[in-house]
Amino acid sequence: MSKLFVELGRRGYPIHIGPGLFGRDGPLSIATSGRDLMIVSNETVAPLYLAAVTHATAGARRTENIILPDGESYKTLDVLDRVFSALLQKRFGRDAVLLALGGGVVGDLVGFAAASFQRGIDFVQVPTTLLAQVDSSVGGKTAVNHALGKNMIGAFHQPISVVADTTTLDTLPDRELSAGMAEVVKYGLVCDAAFFLWLEDNAERLLARDREALTYAIQRSCEIKAQVVAADERETGNRALLNLGHTFGHAIENAMGYGVWLHGEAVAAGMAMAADLSRRLGWLTNEDVERTETLLKRLALPIRGPHQLGPETLRDLMMVDKKVAAGKNRLVLLRSIGDALLSENFDESNLFTTLTECRSTA
């Protein structure tokens, strides 16, 4: 097991990464011992891991659980209310702890529930997908979706612990594994050219679920995320750079219907669009764009948006984004591989061309 720490003073917390972390004397026991515990999972993950996690948290004062439907389309206020209702019906108090057992949807929703219930209670992230292990479980961004925009209703609320048991990736479908790789590639593109090169050298090992390669990719991603969050917890500065591809990607998810495109798939296409626009602005070279697109394709990720989504629709949806300021959209773009910036200084005609040409043909 490797252990990192998010340095946020009294809100700081550990990130545990490795196989077999659901043991009785492991990090889950430490985080939940002597407390009322509500485990929240979904219909896919619960049959696989709920029993093990319940066993690992046997030191809790009492344990209840709630099983939610699985999928991005259920990351809503209505489903969130089911968590609140369960907490109230079971008479949980401010000293209770929530545990999110699942992927990014469960983690985001449970984190928001913890931020809101009785004005804030503790929660533990137990991410079971690659995307959640490398990104959404770390940093305290919690939210639910709205019909008009993704993650537009939420709060910053840090977990007290993140426990990423890498053996859960053994049961992850191939499509979900690839979707998680998009967030891994993001870290290399944004701020670590050497990591990007390592990914180019190890793409096939990662898709083959090589344990050593996956563990390194998760650890390096979490190291970068922890450093960025410690310096900019509430995304007022450089943390926004970790949204590379997300403004494009969120618009795709919204337009196509939440869950039709997986989050990582939409982000991958969005990063390819950001690279294309960066080239049109004279920053990225043709070689950089080709390297970006080639790596994404090797990881079984899309590099073009859906053909049925026109540039006007996509552009309008991109304006429903948390980086919009004073009516102007700000995009995360690239000066080079490993060097990102947040900019509103781009010609709309270049953006429109990118949105037009970065669509699939069928």
pLDDT tens per residue across span 17-62: 999 999 878 899 999 999 999 999 999 999 999 999 999 999 999 9
The reply to whether 263 belongs to the active site is yes
> What average pLDDT does the structure give for the chain?
96
Residue 326: per-residue pLDDT: 66
Fold: same for 2-171 and 174-357:
no
CATH architecture of 174-357: Up-down Bundle (1.20)
Please report where in the chains the tokens 């389309």 appear, as a residue.
Answer: 73
How far apart (Å, rounded) are the C-alpha atoms in residues 110 and 206?
A: 29
What DSSP character marks residue 143?
E
Q: What angle do CA 186, 103, 213 make, to 5 degrees?
A: 50
pTM: 0.95
322 is catalytic: no
Report which of 68, 83, 130, 86 is spatially closest to residue 104, judged by C-alpha positions: 130
| Domain boundaries, given as residue ranges, for the chain | 2-171, 174-357
- Name the CA dihedral angle for 330, 323, 134, 57, rounded to a multiple of 10 degrees: 180
Active site residue 315: no
User: From CA 73, how far away is CA 88, in angstroms rounded?
Assistant: 25
The model's pLDDT over 217-255, given as tens digits with 9 standing for 90+, comes to 999 999 999 999 999 999 999 999 999 999 999 999 999
Options 3.40.50.300, 3.20.10.10, 3.40.50.1970, 3.40.190.10; CATH of 2-171: 3.40.50.1970
Residue 109 pLDDT more than 80? Answer: yes
Active-site hit among 235, 253, 265, 293: 235
Catalytic residue (one of 150, 220, 225, 291):
225
Catalytic residue among 42, 151, 243, 254: 243
